[in-house]
Amino acid sequence: MNASAAKPSDVRPERNKEFKGVWILGEQRSAAVQPISYELLARGRGLADRLGVPLSAVMLGKTGEAGLQELIARGADQVIVVESPALEHFLPEPYARALEHLIRKHKPEILIAGATTTGRTLMPLVAVKCRAGLTADCTHLEIETDTGNLLQVRPAIGGNIMATIKSPSHRPQMATVRPRSMKAAARDESRCGKVIRESVPAELLASRVRRLSFEPAAADSANIQEAEVVVSGGRGLKQRENFDLIYQLAALLNAGVGASRDAVDRAWISYPHQVGLSGKTVSPKLYLCAGISGSIQHLAGIKTAEHIIAINSNPDAQILKVADYGIVADLFEVLPMLIRKIEERRRKSAVIGKLGD
């Protein structure tokens, strides 16, 4: 369920005045701001405007000056930065103590982070330290009209219902948000804000864990969340070998390869390719799927896709009800035909190009 919309004037002033402001936890890697930070700014901006409070982005570790200004251009009123060699790479203990230190000093009423590896690891630690409530994997956030409490909406009971959760008695109110569940905040060059550089006592940044090395994910585990086109297959492919059709089509379209949970559970493809509540949320310009029925869990992972094309032999399949274009047919006839047509067009374009030369 979702809370009804409210204007800032609808929110009563009886909120806990000791805590004020909305924070998002930005992420950096090698001093570069990560895209999840801009998605969080889009959510945080709406919450802050509803409450009539500033929006702050918190950055732990070294971040380039251009990146800090980009956060302001995308909606932050201020950026709170803590730089230290101990925070160069994510480690749970120093990150948790640094964030707790900032929270106790500035007292934000709301703190949201991405449901990334960093957010899912860090936020529970900080919530325990601050004796605050935390809701994980939210798909929607809203402000309750009468109280100003944060309404945190997330799937529950296997994704069959949407639960609304709030933490009325503890601050800050904390939540993690699924990546790609909202468009990134747009840039506004005219925005102005300030950068606040904070320091954290050195003893708080000690860690019992050391980062020895980093091994990138295998090429097979490419990040489908960043792909502009995703081609996915499901149980309708019937066996692992038939997933070659998905790989062939994806290669022709320069697309990422996705899958339903059924396909992953059958070991036809590895987990990093899973799309849905228990996998990844994707937001491509085109999502093309074959042999996927469209469970509520899968649909939650593709709701921000710009265009959806679905191939399914069952005219009553749920995926066809949400697709922009639905093809009711045998995927073993459609996919080879589609692959053949694309290949033919590529060959013709190549011939025309040579003639032009």
Q: Which pLDDT belongs to residue 8?
A: 46
Residue 7: predicted pLDDT = 45
Residues 101 and 163: beta-carbon distance below 8 Å: no
Strand residue runs (E) in 282-339? 286-290, 307-312, 325-328
Distance between CA atoms of residues 22 and 113, nearest Å: 11
Nearest-angstrom CA–CA distance, 193 and 320? 45
Q: Which CATH architecture has domain 8-205?
A: 3-Layer(aba) Sandwich (3.40)
Start and end residues for every CATH 3.40.50.1220 domain found in the chain: 219-356
Q: Give the count of beta carbons closer than 10 Å to the beta carbon of residue 57.
A: 29
* Residues lower than pLDDT 70 in the chain: 1-16, 157-160, 216-222, 350-357
Using left for φ > 0, alpha for ψ between -120 and 50, and beta otherwise, residue 61 falls in left
Q: What is the mean pLDDT of the chain?
A: 87
Residues 219-356: name the CATH superfamily.
TPP-binding domain (3.40.50.1220)
196 contacts 43 by C-beta, under 8 angstroms: no
Tens of pLDDT along 296-342?
889 988 988 889 999 999 999 999 999 999 999 999 999 999 999 99
The DSSP H or E segment spanning 347 is helix 331-356
pLDDT of residue 15: 60
